[in-house]
Structures are given as C-alpha cells and as structure tokens.
Structure 1
Amino acid sequence: MKLLASYVPKADGQLVIWANTYKEKLGSIGAELGLSATVIAEQQATAQKLIDSIRKAALKRVEMKEATSAKELAKRTDLQLIRSMAAYIKAMPAYTPSMGLELGIVSPSQMVDENEVKPIITPVSYTGYVSIGFNKQRMLGIRLYSRLKGEQEWNLLRTVRRPPFIDKTPPREEGKPEVREYRAICFDGFKNKGHWSDIVAVVHGG
C-alpha cells in the first residue's frame, strides 16, 4: 500500500502559512460547499488558535534566548563584582571563617569546625631571635605562648594574625643556650578556639 505524504507541513514556519491560508480560503470555499457560517467560523477560530500557539512558542524561545544571554552576562559581570567583594571581605582584619560561612562565601572544602581546629607552629632559631612560622587553619589568628623547658607556667607572647612571629626575647643567661618551648591556640577575634598545638622545642642562644 502506498502512503501519501501529509499535506500538513512539519516546520512551524510553514505550518503557520498553511493554517493562515486554510483559514482565509475556507470563508469563500466553505460557503460554496454549503458549510454553515457557524462551522466555518469554528474552523477559522481553530486555525487561528494553532497559529497563535506556534507564534507564542516562537516568542517564548526568543525570550528564553535573551534571558539566557542576560544570565550569562550577569555571571561574567555581576558575579565577578560579588567575588571581588568577597575577596576584599576575607582580607579584612576582623574577618573570621564563621562570618564567611554565614555569608556563603566559603566553599564546603573551606568550612572550618572551630571546635576542632589545631594550629601548627614551626619555630627556628637565628642569631638574636626565634622565627615562628605557623598555620592558623583559616582562623583570624593564633595566641602564641612560650616557656623554658622544665617550667610549668606558659607566658603569652602575642596574638598574631600573620606569620612569621619574631620572638626577640633575650636568653635568661647571656651566652648560654636554652631550650625554649612554644605552643599556640587558634583565635577568632574574641576567644580561643579548638585545640592547643603540639609543643615544639628549639635550642636558642649561646
């Protein structure tokens, strides 16, 4: 059995032209065929509805394309302005990771459990001073303490935000080397956070 090609166009643009022709020609041809005015009007309304639906969809596609272009532009411009401000905020002295968490400007991999943070310190002795490098685990800073080996009491040196800290405390006895111990704890600008660092010793002086 041979199949006849459909007389209805598949492409939307051609379908609009076809439906519009059907609607206009049906007025005169329908009357010649004896179709009632009501039937003709219903068919013409149906054809117009089809035309309107196709045109509305086409308009929506144009609007969607424009909206997508506007979105991509916003990502390149507006979002970059926000990222720049976020970087500026993170560099401010009073900034803390908890603030960043509330603002949503830290990634999940950067989120810090302030109750579990533990700083790392690396003191190195030089002539006349001890340089203490440290990792503050994304907190505002650390509180750094020291003592001589064998002593019980720790002495606060300073609250430090950026490494290294230079400890210029002279030896107790000039010319005699001493073993200094250092430890630190993270600080959020208001109170200590997390766990004490490991106690790290260094021979200094002499």
Structure 2
Amino acid sequence: MPKSDYIPHSDSDLLLWHDHFKNAIATLKDSLGFSDADLAAINADNEQLHQTISAANAAAVAAHSANAAKSSTIGEVENNTRAHARRAKAQPAYVESMGVLLGIIGSATHIDPASYKPILTATDQTGGIVQLKFNKYKSDGINIYCQREGETELTLLSRTLVSPFTDKRPLLVAGKPELRRYTAVHLLGDDEVGQFSDELVVNCTP
C-alpha cells in the first residue's frame, strides 16, 4: 500500500516538521553518519525556511491591508464624486453637453439575459472570513457556489441579492490556511440565468 508524502505541504506544518527533523538528526548524527558540516547545512535550511515563510506572511498581511485601504478609498471617492455629479446636474445652467464633457453620463446598454456573467471578486479577511463582491446588472441577485479544500465539488453557498456577501464560515482547521473555490451565476426571480462567473481561488489565511 503506497504511503503519503512525509513532508507536510502547509507552511505552519512544514515549519514544525522541519524543526523536529533538525533537532532529531542532531541527536542521531553519530549513529547515522552525519557530520557537523551536514548539521550546519540542515540548520541553514531551517533558518532560510523560517525567514522566507515569515517574509511571505508579512507580505500577505501588507497586501491585505493595502487592498482594504484601496477599496475604502475607491468607495469614498466614488460616493463623493457621485454627490458632486448630482449637484452639477441639479444646477439650472446644466445641459447634457456639460455632462458629456464631465464624463458623468452613462452609456446606454442592452443586456441579453442569456449572456449574463457575474464579475466576482473576493477579499480574504483572515480566519476563514471572505468578502465577495459582484455586479447585479439587471438581475435580482446571484447564487454563490463554493468548494472548500478537501471537498469534491462546488455546492450552493448562498442566494444573495445585495453586494457584498461575506462568507463567515471558520477555517476547517483552526490556524491552518485553507483554499476555497468560488463561482456565481445571476438570478431572475428564482431562476439561474446566463453563464457562471470565472472561478476564484482564495487562500484563506489564519
């Protein structure tokens, strides 16, 4: 019967495993014929492993913070700009040509329900919490499907009418990162219409 790989794949488990390996090999060095130079190389590997994983985690936290700040700023600026646009359009002297010049007149669009395809974005908020944003167009909302790490297929997570939706499920294993796949499809009434969104893979960090 084949055995599983003895080296763990998650960062946290790998660090614990390599720490144990480093310490255990030091106690068995003479029996197994390992030299001081061999131990020095193993210790160097261990130190590099800790440094690079720590740096990657710090970069992920910084990226999460920067993206949250970006989203907040974009939302604030959009709200302010829409208020300015409404004020401009309410002025007696306002004419449509001014709106064209300012870029505050939306273009007319025709959407075929059969071609609906949600644009889904996701933000990991740590601890298993994921915020999902989507475009409604002229639909009534979306069905969101998800597949968690270890599951074999996508299953319905939520029927939601308002963006954003927050997946508040905790991590399957506390403290261990988890991959989730998300996709969504538009709704008209209770019926799913159009195409499914592109799948998103989210690395949920502790």
Q: TM-score range, shorter-chain basis? A: 0.3 to 0.5
Structure with the greater alpha carbon radius of gyration? 1
